[in-house]
Chains A and B, each alone.
Chain A
Amino acid sequence: GAGVSQTPSNKVTEKGKYVELRCDPISGHTALYWYRQSLGQGPEFLIYFQGTGAADDSGLPNDRFFAVRPEGSVSTLKIQRTERGDSAVYLCASSHGLAGGIAFTDTQYFGPGTRLTVL
């Protein structure tokens, strides 16, 4: 079956520009996560959606970063006024999430990532 997909796979932009990164989760997964992986580091949590709402956005580094998931499926991570320090691989993951208050599983399945380069 289809896994988590992310587009674009690579994005090069100039400092100060606006970018959008897209994530398509596994069909039926209600939970969606964004992580950022800098070179030589493990991924770092950014934000978590349960359905359409952001359940935890404590990892977003500042107010230039914003994410939406308007219909509870596809999510877009938006970065305004990009800076060179935003260069990283942005990873999306999904999981079954919660249904009726019972967690099916806490295993997260990751997409291939979007490599963002800010010049």
Chain B
Amino acid sequence: GNSVTQMEGPVTLSEEAFLTINCTYTATGYPSLFWYVQYPGEGLQLLLKATKADDKGSNKGFEATYRKETTSFHLEKGSFQVSDSAVYFCALNRDDKIIFGKGTRLHILP
């Protein structure tokens, strides 16, 4: 079946750090891929998405590239702000359902 596996947290970083949050998926066909973010006390927000192989999604300094050959959609960022502290969810859309990973909690130290 369809599933998403992502790096488990929590992850604590300084503002100058570089981070890759790994995400791999299993799906039939060619799903759209997403990263959603959940800031403390807020609802889920779409961070970025990619709809076909080799597409790169980017937003707020985050990037992720749809890699069909490795069935991956890793999230990367080169430097952070304290306001990036949140839970990040990798997800895919198949048959109009979103399948989420378990989430990675990120904590940025000032």
Chain A residues with a Cβ under 8 A of chain B: 4, 31, 33, 35, 40-45, 48, 55-56, 59, 91, 93, 106-113
Q: What 0/1 pattern do residues 18 to 38 of B give for CB contact below 8 A with A?
A: 000000000000001010100
Q: Is B42 an interface residue (CB 8 A)?
A: yes
Which residue of B34, B51, B97, B101 is within 8 Å of A59 (Cβ)? B97
Which residue of A43, A56, A112 is within 8 Å of B95 (Cβ)? A56
Q: Is the CB of A45 within 8 A of B43?
A: no
Chain B residues with a Cβ under 8 A of chain A: 4, 32, 34, 36, 42-46, 49, 51, 89, 91, 93, 95-103
Q: Is the CB of B102 within 8 A of A45?
A: no
Chain B positions within 8 Å of A91 at CB level: 43-44
Say whether, besides A31-B96, A42-B91, A44-B100, A106 and B42 are in contact (CB < 8 Å): no
Q: Is the CB of B32 within 8 A of A48?
A: no
Interface of B is mostly: strand
Q: Is the CB of A42 within 8 A of B46?
A: no
Number of A-B contacts (CB under 8 A): 55
Residue of A at shortest CB range from B41? A112
Assembled-state Cα–Cα distance A4/B45 (Å) = 11
Q: Is the CB of A109 within 8 A of B46?
A: yes
Chain A positions within 8 Å of B103 at CB level: 40-42
Chain B positions within 8 Å of A113 at CB level: 43
Q: Is the CB of B96 within 8 A of A40?
A: no
Chain B nearest CB, measured from A55 CB (Å): 7
Assembled-state Cα–Cα distance A28/B67 (Å) = 33
Assembled-state Cα–Cα distance A55/B48 (Å) = 26
Chain B positions within 8 Å of A56 at CB level: 95-97
List 20 additional contacts besides A44-B100, A45-B97; criterion CB under 8 Å: A33-B98, A40-B102, A40-B103, A42-B89, A42-B102, A43-B100, A48-B96, A48-B97, A56-B96, A59-B97, A106-B51, A107-B46, A108-B46, A109-B46, A110-B36, A110-B43, A110-B44, A111-B43, A112-B43, A113-B43
Assembled-state Cα–Cα distance A41/B32 (Å) = 21
Assembled-state Cα–Cα distance A40/B42 (Å) = 15
Residue of A at shortest CB range from B49? A107
